Amino acid sequence: MTIENIIEVKDLSKTYKVSERDSGFKAAVASFFKRKFKDVKAVDHVHFSIRPGEMVGFLGPNGAGKTTTLKMLSGLLNPTFGHAKVMGYTPWELRGEYLSAITLIMGQRNRLSWDIPAADSFLLNQAIYRIGDIEYKQTMRELDELLELGDVVKKPVRNLSLGERMKCELAAGLIHRPSVLFLDEPTIGLDITAQARIREFLREYNRRYNATIILTSHYMADVTALCERVILIHHGKLMYDGALAELSRKIAPFKVIGVGLENAADYDLTGYGERTVGENGDAMVYLRVPAEQATSVTSRLLAELPIHDITIADPPIESVIEQAFQG
Amino acid sequence: MLKIYKNFWLVNWAEQWQYRANLLMYLFYWLVSPIIYLAVWTSIANSKGDVKGYTANDFITYYLLLLVVDQITSNIVIHILADKIMDGAISSEIIKPVHPVLTSTLVYNVAFKALNFIGFLPIWVALNFLFKPNYAAITWQNILLAVPFLIAGFAISFLISAVITSVAFWTTRVYSIHEFYFALVVLFSGQFVPLTLMPEMIQSIARYLPFQLMIYFPIELLLGRLAPGEILHGVGLAVFWFTFAVVAFKIVWKRGLKQYSAVGA
Amino acid sequence: MRRHLNLIRVFLKINLQMAMAYRTDTFVNILVNMMWLGWELLSLSIIFGNTQALAGWEFGDLIVLLGVFRIVNMLMFIMIWPATEKFNTSVRDGSFDYVLLQPVNSLFVVSFSRLTIWRLWDLVLALVLILSGLSISGGNILWQNFMAFLALAFSGIIIIYSLWVVLIALTFWFTKFDNNVTILHALMDAGRYPVMVYPFWLQLIVTFIIPIAVATTVPVQALHGSLSVLQVLMYLGVGAASFVVAVLFWRVGVRKYSGASS
């Protein structure tokens, strides 16, 4: 492995054995004696490498293998095949030095105890990660400044709003100043403002400490705002690894042409391109056309129809992804 | 009205049937301490011949009947109701046109008993083979006579527990308060030992309290050890405490609801 | 080692704060606890109002036994109950993942992170009970018997702890097994009386399957000097072995959890 890569993943695979049986009593008895197992390939020979300080977004539909990959990289799961090195460590050996240098933050799981204020949980983490008092105070000050924690940490966690709680969860996961962050749906369930704050924080954290961040999210906005590079996983297989900007060109080379047309319903537009949904409250009609035909279709439209307005744009990233996963 | 109970029953039975494995585990709680007391007192009786007239076999018979009687007269109202009141889940039941405690809670408790009994019965039969009690004194008349007392015993224990559980409208410390109540039951019901073996002072207080109706009184009745005067005393006791419990429950529940709506939980 | 001591200090501090935050409850709990102590003493006095000895044990011996029982029971309430509740929840909602990713032994964190601290008060009561029991019995206690008593009480607690570890580790295989400690709790009361009182089958259960008697009756037997040196060593050996087995079992369970086996 080369020194400039902080994460190296080769042929990483995880196969779950799922016992399957038909319903009914007879099948239950039969499965008691001879269990039938089905192999489910959650992650299938995945390759990639990541340089220090990169922010990479994992994309894929539910069950694509994103979380399984994150869990293997953090060390929670052993792979069935292949290997991974993070900072030179094999994650699933769960070495103390390794665990002290990473963090895994899952938006849907609570690290903090409900009954006590977050500040107490922070103290616990100080002891667990053996952080000296001076360093601890310094880190807390910085996290407080970045996340605007304030008095929130003094209230029992059960009394916090979802957004406040997520801020505290992030702080709790970062007290030991990990250099690699695995984030699984860190903004799930939060309102738009809270999502934006968390994103801003992550960007700033990455900039300040040159931390490597790997992130999965359902919200494309998280990925577009933070990650220049994305890795697409579908059915456990790696589908795309590269710049976010390149993604739409590679996967779905389409343009969206918006047409302003009086009485649009009177015209048959199927000869020009596929109708697609536009922004809300917009009187325009949107057509999706292959990128290389965009110019010719535009001139045809202008020549053949009484058009008073026209726009050409890249398709929104959501629909690109959707397009990619339909295939 | 009957239809309401039938529907409540169907729902509760189906719900609890799913947790039957859990119920089996909880059966242990009921079984262990009577068996321990049984062992302690038979050991003493064996070493001396008898304890104030109770032979080893009398103790065995007493505790094995106690297991059945306790199954019938005990209740789990606090476990059904207290959390619902404290976390506000009771709201959906309060707005129904039937009394939540006398329908939902009651039926839940009875379904729980019925299900428990299915698990309890084979264990109880096995214990009878192990310990060989002597049920010769039990006659059909005794059983018939005991049935109304068993029902009254359950009714009274259910209502008193409902009164105590209603304290949850005011305080979250209802479980601790219930534990004090539970100590009274242990002290005055005959759960630890037949009441005649308790200190004089406790016996004379227990005579006027409702707790013996839940354990000691029905057992002695089944074994035909009560004189007619004693049985009459039991009737008076049951009537008085049942009336008392009904009135107390009505008052406390009404005030509790008032408090509940005032706080707006 | 220093880190673990430091961690225990922080765990104690946090749990003490919780007890203080709910101080009325703590106070009520202590009252309830005292009430049950009163009942335990009353029930013993009723028993001994009717007999001189229970399976050869006198009143003073049963007071000592009650003290030992209360220490074992204290373990239940201080650690086992709250830790089990937290552990079961964390496996169910997946937050156990975080426990595994901390650079500290997971069994240590699971055992000590939740402590019902006010129960330590029981230790004082238990010591008072043991000392008064000894003075009621009168006679001299040989110092080697007293040392054996302490060692066996400690090893008995380790055995109960180990059994608990095995019971909760079963959750890694059977995720729905969340009344994992009910059986332990239900049989606990059997520790109040000398095991010789019980019918044979119950003696077998509380000695070999859920070995509560090994933590209660056995140490008091050693105090009387009614155990041979060989027996004492054997019980201590069982204590040490069960701890090792429990820790190994926990490790296998954790590995199962992270999908190494299967």
pLDDT score recorded for residue A258: 84
Q: Does the beta carbon of B199 lie under 8 angstroms from any beta carbon of chain C?
A: yes
* Chain C contact probe: residue of B19, B20, B23, B25 with most C CBs at under 10 A: B25
C259 touches chain A (CB under 8 A): yes
Q: Which residues of C touch B182 (CB under 8 A)?
A: none
Q: Would you call A130 an interface residue with chain C, using a CB distance cutoff of 8 Å?
A: yes
Give the pLDDT score at A21.
59
Q: What is the arrangement of strands in the sheet containing A285-290, beginning at the earlier edge strand?
A: A274-276, A285-290, A254-261, A307-313
Residue of C nearest to B54 (CA): C50
The set of long-range contacts for B184-192, using a CB threshold of 8 Å and a minimum separation of 24, is B184/B209, B184/B211, B185/B211, B185/B214, B186/C39, B187/B211, B187/C39, B187/C42, B188/B212, B189/B214, B189/B215, B189/B216, B190/B66, B190/B215, B190/B216, B190/B217, B190/B219, B191/B34, B191/B66, B191/B70, B191/B215, B192/B37, B192/C43, B192/C46
User: Residue A5: which of A228, A220, A260, A180 has the closest Cα?
Assistant: A180
Please name the member of C9, C18, C259 whose beta carbon is closest to the beta carbon of A78.
C259
All partners of chain B with 3 or more CB pairs under 8 angstroms: C
- Mark residue B52 as left, alpha or beta (left: phi above 0; alpha: psi -120 to 50; beta: remaining): left
Is residue B46 scored above 60 in pLDDT?
yes
Residue A2 has pLDDT above 70, yes or no: no
Asked, for residue C56, whether it belongs to a domain, the answer is yes
List the 83-122 stretch of C: residues with Cβ below 8 A of A. 93-95, 97-98, 100-104, 109, 113
Q: Which of C1, C12, C18, C98 to mutate to test the interface with A (most CBs of A within 10 A)?
A: C98
- Chain A: give the shortest CA distance to residue C25, in Å: 15
CB contact under 8 A, C51 and B26: no
Q: Within an 8 Å CB–CB cutoff, is residue C240 touching chain B?
A: no
Domains in chain A, ordered, with CATH?
Answer: 7-13+43-248 (3.40.50.300), 254-326 (3.30.70)
CB contact under 8 A, B39 and C197: yes
Question: Do chains B and C have 3 or more beta-carbon pairs under 8 angstroms?
Answer: yes
Determine contact: A154 vs chain C, CB below 8 A.
no
Percent with pLDDT over 90 in chain A: 37
In the numeric block, the tokens 């090893």 are attached to: C155
For residue range A135-173, list pLDDT tens digits in order. 999 999 999 988 888 899 999 888 898 889 999 999 999
Which chain A residues are Cβ-neighbours of C258 within 8 angstroms? 76-78, 92
CB contact (8 A) between residue B193 and residue C197: no
Q: pTM for this structure?
A: 0.84
**What is the ipTM metric for this complex?**
0.89
Range with the largest mean pLDDT of A55-69, A312-326, B55-69:
B55-69
Phi-psi category of residue B219: left, alpha or beta, with phi > 0 → left and psi -120 to 50 → alpha: alpha
Distance CA(A244)–CA(A43), nearest Å, equals 22
- CA-based nearest residue to A215, from A130, A323, A104, A118: A104
Indicate whether C262 belongs to any domain.
Answer: no
Mean pLDDT of chain C: 90
Q: Which candidate from C54, C179, C187 shows the least CB-CB separation from B40? A: C54
Mean pLDDT score of chain A, rounded to an integer? 85
Instruction: Give the structural domain span for C192.
Output: 2-257
Partner-chain residue, chosen from B25, B52, B180, that has the shortest CB–CB distance to C183: B25
pLDDT, average across residues B119-136:
94
User: A touches which chains (3+ CB pairs under 8 A)?
Assistant: C
Looking at the structure of chain B, the number of domains it has is 1
Number of domains comprising chain C: 1
Give residue A254's pLDDT. Answer: 79
The answer to whether C47 faces chain B, any CB pair under 8 Å, is: yes
Percent of chain C with pLDDT over 70: 97
Residue C160 lies in a domain: yes
Boundaries of domain holding B236: 2-263
Asked whether C171 and C96 are in contact (CB, 8 A), the reply is no
Give the confidence band of C43 by pLDDT, cuts at 50, 70, 90: very high
* The pLDDT value given to residue B261: 82
Cα–Cα separations (whole angstroms), residue A15 to A9, A36, A220, C172, C262: 16, 15, 28, 19, 11
CA distance C250 to chain B (A): 23
Residues A94-144 pLDDT 10s: 899 999 999 999 988 888 888 788 999 999 999 999 999 999 999 999 999
Q: C14-23, C129-138, C163-172: which has the minimum mean pLDDT? A: C14-23
Nearest C-alpha in C relative to B50: C50
Q: What is the Cα gyration radius of chain A?
A: 24
State the average pLDDT over residues A197-204. 91
Element spanning C154, H or E: helix C143-169
Pairwise CA distance, residues A75 & A93, whole Å:
7
Nearest CA of chain C to the CA of B24: how many Å? 10
Residue C250 has a pLDDT of 96
Closest partner CB to C179 (pick from B25, B35, B173): B25
- For residue B23, give the chain C residue with the closest CA: C179
Chains C vs A: touching, with 3+ CB pairs under 8 Å? yes
pLDDT bin (cut points 50, 70, 90) of residue A1 is very low
pLDDT at B167: 92
Q: Is C53 in Cβ contact with B130 (below 8 Å)?
A: no
**Interatomic CA distance for residues A251 and A242, integer angstroms:** 11
Strands annotated E in chain A? 7-20, 36-50, 55-59, 81-86, 102-106, 180-184, 212-216, 229-234, 237-243, 254-261, 274-276, 285-290, 307-313
Closest CA to C181 of B29, B109, B124, B71: B29
Q: Are the C-beta atoms of C178 and C98 separated by less than 8 Å?
A: no
Shortest Cα–Cα distance, C238 to chain B (Å): 26
Instruction: Name B107's bridge partners.
Output: none
The answer to whether the Cβ–Cβ distance between C104 and A128 falls below 8 Å is yes
Summarize chain B as % helix, strand, coil (round to 5). 80, 0, 20
When pLDDT is averaged across residues C209-236 and rounded to a whole number, the result is 93
Surface-to-core class of residue B209, CB atoms within 10 Å of its CB (0-12 exposed, 13-18 middle, 19+ buried): middle
Cβ C103–A78 below 8 Å, yes or no?
no
Rounded to the nearest integer, the mean pLDDT of chain B is 91
- Name the residue among A14, A16, A99 with its Cβ closest to that of C102: A99
Looking at residue A131, what is its pLDDT? Answer: 92
* Chain C neighbors of A71, CB-CB under 8 A: 97
Q: What is the pLDDT of residue A139?
A: 93
Residue C171 lies in a domain: yes
- pLDDT for C261 equals 43
Instruction: Write the residue in C28, C42, C51 that is nearest to B44 by C-beta.
Output: C51
Looking at chain C, the whole-number percentage of residues with pLDDT higher than 90 is 64
Write out pLDDT tens, residues B164-197: 999 999 988 899 999 999 999 999 999 999 999 9
Measure CB to CB from residue B197 to each of C50, C182, C199 and give the nearest one.
C50
Mean predicted confidence (pLDDT) in C103-124: 91
- Taking the CA of residue A65 and the nearest CA in chain C, the distance in Å comes to 15
Q: Tell me, what's the pLDDT at A26?
A: 64
CB neighbour class for A3 (10 Å; exposed up to 12, middle 13-18, buried from 19): exposed
Residue of A nearest to C7 (CA): A127
The arithmetic mean of pLDDT across residues A271-277, rounded, is: 78
Nearest to B180 among C35, C186, C193 (CB): C35
pLDDT of residue A280: 54
Determine the residue among C5, C25, C102 to mutate to test chain A binding: the one whose Cβ has the most chain A Cβ atoms within 10 Å: C102
Binary contact (A127, C98; C-beta < 8 A): no
Model pLDDT, residue C99:
93
B188 alpha-carbon distance from chain centroid:
13
Predicted confidence (pLDDT) per residue in C152-167, tens digit:
999 999 999 999 999 9
Q: Which chains neighbour C (Cβ–Cβ under 8 Å, 3 or more pairs)?
A: A, B
pLDDT computed for residue A107 by the predictor = 86
Beta strands in chain B (DSSP E): none
The percent helix, strand, coil of chain A (3-state, each to 5) is: 40, 30, 30
